[in-house]
Structure 1
Amino acid sequence: MSAGPHNPLDGFDTTIHAPHRLRICALLEGAGEAEFALVQNQLGLSASALSKHVTVLMDAGYVEQRKAVRDTRQRVWLRLTRQGRAAYQAHLAALRAIVEPSDPAP
């Protein structure tokens, strides 16, 4: 059963859909790039919990990290990859298709 040439529900991504990973993607989409500690603070997660979610997103090819020394400390910055940005946008379109019926009842 086909819904036409492109079904927005095809973009639903279970990797992104987990609440903390969805919030990570949303934050990185808006920020472009963000330091790990900032993401941790904004989401209210422990470093280990954030690291686990970031690892899942990195393994999927959705997030990449950049390490550099700043103020004599090792810092990690996160950003969405091109693939991650596309997957996040497709996931949002799928969520919209679920919650906004295209043919509302009268």
Structure 2
Amino acid sequence: MKNAPTITKVSIGGLNKLFNHRSRMGIMAILMVNEWADFVSLRDTLKLTDGSLASHLKALVKEKQIEVEKKFVDDKPKTSYRATTEGREAFEAHLAELEEFIRLVDN
């Protein structure tokens, strides 16, 4: 009987489930490189519907990964978002875990 091949163990336990959806990952990526981003810019950049974007933003706000600012500009409402310190740290940890996973797969 032949010896079974050794299997390289791969851990994905460090991935943050909140960021596993491409829309939430996109939102966080934008907010990591921009201090603030408004709703319309996020919607247009990510090519999402208003409802879809709103639900993903709500999930990120609920988990304190992003914060929201509502104000009026030229008598029109403007809603903007930015990553919290907690959100930045969590997203960076998520990306580091993804990078480690990619390194294992590439080898």
Q: TM-score range by the shorter chain?
A: 0.7 to 0.9
Percent identity, aligned pairs only? 26
1:78 corresponds to which residue?
A: 81
SS in 1 for 2:80: strand
2:22 corresponds to which residue?
A: 19
Q: Let me know the Cα RMSD of the aligned residues.
A: 1.8
Displacement after TM superposition at 1:10 (Å): 5.0
Q: Which runs of 5+ in 1 are unaligned?
A: 1-7
- How many residues align structurally? 97
How high is the TM-score relative to the length of structure 1?
A: 0.85
Q: 2:93 aligns with which of 81, 90, 97?
A: 90
Are the aligned partners of 1:67 and 1:75 in contact in 2 as well (CA < 8 Å)? yes
Q: Which runs of 5+ in 2 are unaligned?
A: 1-10
Superposed, which structure 2 residues align to 1:40-55 within 5 Å? 40-55=43-58
Question: Which structure has the larger Rg?
Answer: 2
The structure whose RCO (Cα within 8 Å, separation 6+) is larger is 1
Q: Structure 1: which 4+ aligned runs deviate by more than 6 Å? A: none
How high is the TM-score relative to the length of structure 2?
A: 0.84
SS in 1 for 2:56: helix
